[in-house]
């Protein structure tokens, strides 16, 4: 019944039903779960004698007169008078002549709005109104009034009027699905009570309890889903688990020959991964670390251990540039161990690809590095022991599952996009978490500044001076081509301008996503070899580019990027011995944009910036809802660490006792 289409229940037009559909509301259940975004408390009535101008007030009184007139400029005006025991007050509405039919004279009424000084006296202008009917409950005033997300033709008043009868008559069809022990433990109100009270609360205390219950439910169901997924991954695949021996001597030899010392955070993360490899079920771990924290070397050591145990390893990256960089890095790091390391991507020729696939299937390839080409049809492994996915949120859920399916290998996901812990345990809760939150010793802080437009030429001259001293620079633009709509710089136009007019004596390069792979490779090789002084690029260089000599990052239209992305750009410099700088240029700054830019100047920690970004923009915009599986929460917040921990503990208790939810069929249906 709750899935009944609204056109069978509501008395309204097809146009209104279409507008509701745009809000994601198609059925009775959808509408009842369309929760308010905020509330106006209009329980306190203001006496007319105590009204102040420019303050919102709610008045309860008698409408003693109401009539329509035309103003000198031809506008329709409805004027009236409301009175209570303390006095009377003029009321004005514009272009609403129908009110004289809807609001009978001498009727009891509640008006809510802002009083202004007009027509020589204090007047209530354009207030919301609600007639007091003795037999009916007030829903628009004189109470805690829900305010909803609106769209053209659908306002909160309309939603309240249509929802009230549904709340009164259909709420009882909702079933309680939360286990009794969880309701008791946390003192939650019932599900029906929560839904009813969140729409039309009788008192603020019950409203808060209802919001708490519904927010918990969202987080609990998310946690239940990821924890059950984790249980299935560990137990369904248990018979195929590769128990991998730890080769301490080989690892020690490799670590001792590194040109640097591992940080404590790197050592701890490596130990956690190695411990997982010994377990009787496949590993599923997320290794996250700030830009430049050294995740790749930790992964390389784990890879070496797996290969030395007789298994193959697959490493998948989202872009060919990043995949190729991993390929070169692994060859360099593991060159002493005579391993067969191969690379495959979209640009790999058919003949080469066929030869590599044959080696993969016969087991002669030790380490296979590539893009999503690694999961194409016809590809397989003889004995895959470990699969690594870099920047996992860039891949769709199905792509990640495909790599998992190659013989149930141990799975290690990596990301250089720091994810707040609250988000990581909610969305990636089926994975264990390793965090590298410590930068290598000697890593300098990158100086970050917002540069005003009037200092642009000065900044260009300073960059030119730095380049002449041997440094290199990046210039990032938001778009490839010019836009008639967006007033932001395009990479093509900026490249032409900088190379011809600003830096004519320097070698300026151009990089963007529409170039052929051979062109991208040549440009990056030239930049690595310092044959290009300044590289003008789109966000294609966001992750993985490692050029130690690059010390300047200039970002155009910085307000168009989120904090996590700005931090990724900044992380492309500061990788060598030279002091590095990040300059931010903006076209215009909103309040949100100002908050982001100030945070960039103040903080160097990607984890801190990711928390701020999550609060400002929400998870969907940062990580891409469709790709990452991040939910669109109605009541809960992914910054609410207390509620998230509470929900996770409750979900874990259920999974520990009943992992397949055989005794909790309602929960199973919901997830």
Domain end among 417, 436, 455: 436
Domain assignment present for 637: no
pLDDT (average), residues 30-46: 89
SS3 content of the chain, % helix, strand, coil (to 5): 45, 20, 35
Backbone φ, ψ for residue 332 (5° rounding): -65, -45
CATH of the domain at 554: 3.40.50.300
Domain assignment present for 184: no
**Does 263 share its domain with 387?**
yes
The count of domains in the chain is: 4
pLDDT, residue 485, reads 44
**Does 230 share its domain with 251?**
no
**Does 389 share its domain with 288?**
yes
- At 636 the three-state DSSP class reads coil
Domain assignment present for 25: no
Give 420-438 pLDDT, tens digit per residue: 777 777 777 888 889 898 8
Q: Which residues does 507 contact at the CB level (< 8 Å), separation at least 6?
A: 531, 532, 533, 534
Residue 666 structure tokens:
């309602």
CATH of the domain at 101: 2.40.50.140
Among the residue ranges 293-302, 390-399, 654-663, the one predicted with the least confidence is: 390-399
**Does 409 share its domain with 365?**
yes
Select the more confidently predicted residue: 273 or 113.
Answer: 273
> CA-to-CA distance for 539 and 234, rounded, in angstroms?
37
**Does 352 share its domain with 459?**
no
**Does 567 share its domain with 665?**
no
Domain assignment present for 527: yes
> CA-to-CA distance for 64 and 106, rounded, in angstroms?
5
- 630 pLDDT exceeds 60? no
Tell me if 557 sits within 8 A of 494, measured CB to CB: no
Residue 25 structure tokens:
């509301």
Tell me if 109 sits within 8 A of 82, measured CB to CB: yes
Among the residue ranges 4-8, 99-103, 637-641, the one predicted with the least confidence is: 637-641
pTM above 0.85, yes or no: no
Domain assignment present for 76: yes
Domain assignment present for 22: no
pLDDT, residue 624, reads 46
> CA-to-CA distance for 409 and 670, rounded, in angstroms?
30
Domain assignment present for 149: no
**Does 469 share its domain with 543?**
yes
Range of the domain at 221: 217-237+644-670
**Does 557 share its domain with 648?**
no
**DSSP string over 261-273:** PPPHHHHHHHHHH
pLDDT, residue 631, reads 57
Where does 376-486 have alpha helices with state H? 397-404, 421-427, 456-468
**Does 499 share its domain with 385?**
no
**Does 354 share its domain with 489?**
no
**Does 551 share its domain with 583?**
yes
Among the residue ranges 59-68, 134-143, 614-623, the one predicted with the least confidence is: 614-623
pLDDT, residue 587, reads 82
Domain end among 578, 603, 628: 603
Select the more confidently predicted residue: 402 or 300.
Answer: 300
Computed over every residue of the chain, the mean pLDDT equals 87
Give 338-395 pLDDT, tens digit per residue: 999 999 988 888 899 989 999 999 999 999 999 888 887 778 889 999 999 987 666 6
Residue 348 is classified by DSSP as: S
Q: Which residues does 544 contact at the CB level (< 8 Å), separation at least 6?
A: 317, 319, 321, 322, 325, 326, 390, 416
pLDDT, residue 236, reads 78
**Does 432 share its domain with 451?**
no
Domain end among 436, 464, 495: 436
Domain assignment present for 399: yes
Q: Are strands 384-390 and 410-415 parallel, antiparallel or unpaired?
A: parallel
């Amino acid at each position: 019944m709750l899935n009944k289409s609204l056109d069978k229940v509501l008395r309204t037009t097809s146009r209104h039903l279409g507008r509701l559909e745009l809000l994601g509301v198609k059925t009775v259940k959808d509408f009842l779960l369309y929760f308010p975004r905020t509330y106006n408390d209009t329980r306190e009535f203001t006496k007319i004698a105590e009204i102040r101008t420019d303050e919102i007030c709610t008045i309860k009184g008698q409408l003693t007169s109401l009539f329509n007139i035309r103003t000198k400029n031809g506008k329709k005006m409805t004027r009236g008078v409301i009175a209570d025991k303390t006095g009377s007050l003029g009321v004005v509405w514009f272009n609403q002549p129908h009110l004289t039919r809807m609001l009978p004279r001498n009727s009891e009424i509640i008006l809510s709005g802002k009083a202004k000084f007009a027509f020589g006296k204090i007047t209530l202008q354009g207030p919301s109104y609600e007639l007091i009917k003795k037999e009916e409950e007030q829903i628009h005033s004189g109470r805690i009034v829900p305010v909803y997300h609106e769209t053209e033709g659908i306002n909160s008043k309309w939603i309240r009027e249509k929802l009230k009868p549904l709340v009164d008559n259909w709420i009882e069809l909702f079933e309680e699905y939360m286990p009794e022990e969880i309701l008791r433990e946390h003192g939650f109100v019932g599900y029906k009570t929560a839904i009813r009270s969140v729409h039309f609360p009788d008192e603020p205390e019950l409203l808060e309890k209802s919001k708490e219950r519904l927010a918990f439910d969202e987080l609990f169901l998310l946690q239940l889903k990821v924890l059950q997924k984790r249980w299935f991954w560990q137990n369904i695949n248990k018979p195929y688990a590769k128990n991998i021996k730890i080769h301490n001597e080989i690892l020690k030899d490799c670590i001792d020959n590194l040109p640097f010392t591992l940080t404590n955070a790197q050592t701890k993360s490596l130990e956690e991964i190695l411990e997982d490899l010994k377990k009787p079920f496949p590993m599923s771990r997320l290794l996250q670390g700030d830009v430049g924290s050294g995740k790749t070397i930790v992964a390389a050591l784990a890879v070496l251990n797996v290969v030395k145990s007789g298994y193959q390893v697959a490493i998948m990256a989202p872009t060919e540039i990043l995949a190729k960089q991993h390929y070169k890095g692994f060859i360099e790091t593991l060159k002493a161990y005579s391993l067969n390391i191969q690379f495959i991507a979209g640009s790999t020729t058919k003949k080469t690809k066929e030869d590599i696939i044959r080696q993969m299937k016969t087991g002669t390839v030790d380490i296979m590095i590539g893009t999503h080409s690694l999961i194409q049809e016809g590809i397989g492994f003889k004995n895959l022991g470990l699969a690594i996915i870099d920047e996992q949120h860039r891949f769709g859920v199905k792509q990640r599952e495909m790599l998992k399916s190659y013989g149930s290998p141990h799975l290690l996901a990596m990301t250089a996009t720091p994810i707040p812990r609250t988000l990581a345990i909610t969305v990636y809760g089926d994975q264990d978490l390793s965090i590298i939150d410590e930068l290598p010793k000697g890593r300098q802080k990158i100086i970050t500044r917002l540069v005003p437009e009037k200092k642009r030429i000065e900044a260009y001259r300073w960059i030119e001076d730095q380049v002449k001293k041997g440094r290199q620079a990046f210039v990032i633009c938001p778009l490839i081509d010019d836009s008639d709509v967006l007033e932001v710089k395009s990479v093509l136009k900026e490249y032409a301008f900088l190379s011809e007019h600003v830096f004519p004596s320097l070698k300026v390069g151009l990089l963007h996503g529409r170039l052929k792979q051979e062109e991208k490779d040549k440009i990056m090789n030239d930049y690595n070899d310092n044959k290009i002084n300044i590289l003008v690029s789109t966000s294609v260089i966001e992750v993985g580019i490692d050029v130690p000599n690059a010390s300047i990052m200039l970002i155009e239209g910085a307000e168009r990027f989120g904090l996590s992305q700005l931090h990724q750009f900044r992380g492309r410099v500061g990788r060598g011995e030279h002091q590095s700088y990040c300059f931010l240029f903006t076209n215009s700054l909103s309040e949100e944009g100002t908050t982001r830019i100030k945070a960039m100047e103040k903080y160097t920690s990607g984890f801190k910036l990711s928390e701020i970004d999550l609060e400002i923009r929400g998870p969907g915009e940062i990580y891409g809802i469709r790709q990452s599986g991040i939910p669109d929460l109605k009541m809960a917040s992914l910054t609410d660490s207390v509620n998230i921990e509470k929900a996770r503990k409750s979900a874990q208790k259920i999974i520990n006792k009943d992992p397949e939810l055989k005794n909790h069929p309602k929960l199973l249906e919901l997830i």
